[in-house]
Every structure is written in structure tokens, then in C-alpha cells.
Amino acid sequence: MKHTLLKATLAALCLLGGAANAALVLNVDPTTKEYYFEGSATGTPDQDDFEMPGASIFWDNGQGYGMNGDYSPNILTGNMLMVLGVEEPNAVMFIHGPGNVNGGINLFGSFSTLTIVANPEVHGSYAGWHPDVIAALESKAQSGEVVSAQSDSAFNIHFAAVPEPSSALLGLLGVSGLVLRRRR
């Protein structure tokens, strides 16, 4: 009985950690004003035959635009998201002040499945962005919003807030206190 709480807590943490790695997660750190992606996703892209044949993945949470391009920065910089088997995919994702997030990946060629892998080593800074865009980004992270992919829900983007070091320390102290109390 003494170890039941500890085992349950560790099992829950392992399950949560595994679930976070199975999805594309956009982590936002309000302390450093940086963001980065984690995880991976495999799914079926749209097959587009309109202007240039190829596969595409498109994200849009449908919350309206309302700001011009000067205040709609591209979230995807460098190699934040990589498509396995594709060199330098054309990938963009914009965030707008009112809260709309949209963008996509366009690829030449036909693909029945695609795997997107995040590169958590590549961080972007949002410190110089317009205040309305910063507020929208941080709000999405705090609420854990999910931006849907139109082609396959496997490609959904999950926003997450990076906890402040003091919050993580308080959480660790709380769990430690429960374990110690349980031992007595």
C-alpha cells in the first residue's frame, strides 16, 4: 500500500510522457519568450492536383485574421519540423493577433503517408513580435489549444506552456511531501 501512490504517479507520468511524444507539440516558454516543437506524427496528407501536383498538410483553427502580414510572423523557422524522406519541404505556419493559426506543408510528388518529426533543438524567439500576437500565442499555450490539420488529425498541433522553474520545483516538492507523509 505504501508504494501504490508512488507507482501510480510514476505510471501516469510515463503515460503522459509517451502521449506527448506521439503528437506534434508546440512548447511556448513565456519566461524566455521562446518556442520549439517536440514529438512526431505519421498520417495521410491531402493529395492536391490544383496548380502543382503533390501532397499537402494544412492547419487552420478558423479564428479570423484581422492583422496584416507585418504582424503575422511565421512560426516555423529553420528545421523546426522535418518531413522524413523529403529535403527542405516548403513549410509555413503563421499566427495572427486575434488568435488564428494557419499554414501548411506543400510537397511535390504523391505520398500515401508522411511522417513529420520535430527538432526540439531549434528554438524560435517571439520577444519582438506584436503584443497582440504574443498574447495570442501565450494564451493558446496556457489553454492547451489544439490546431487541427485538415488532412489527418494525426498532424494536429498541440500548444503547451513550458512551466516556470519555480512551478516545476513546487510540483516536485508537493509530490515529495505526499510520499513522505504516506510513509509515516
* pTM for the full predicted model: 0.72
Q: Is residue 70 part of a domain?
A: yes
Q: Is residue 40 part of a domain?
A: yes
With a pLDDT cut of 90, the percent of the chain lying above it is 22
Q: Is residue 37 part of a domain?
A: yes
150-163 average pLDDT score: 87
Q: Tell me how far CA of residue 10 lies from CA of 20, 23, 180, in angstroms.
A: 15, 21, 16
**pLDDT given at position 27:** 95
How many domains is the chain built from?
A: 1
Separation CA 83–CA 91 (nearest Å): 10
Q: Is residue 16 part of a domain?
A: no
Q: Which residues pair with 83 in a beta bridge?
A: 116
**pLDDT given at position 111:** 77
Mean pLDDT of the chain: 75
Q: Is residue 118 part of a domain?
A: yes
How, if at all, do strands 54-60 and 101-108 pair? antiparallel
pLDDT digit string (tens) for 76-114? 877 888 888 887 677 788 887 667 788 888 777 767 888
Q: Is residue 11 part of a domain?
A: no
Which residues span the domain enclosing 66?
Answer: 22-177
Q: Is residue 57 part of a domain?
A: yes
118 or 172: which carries more pLDDT confidence? 118
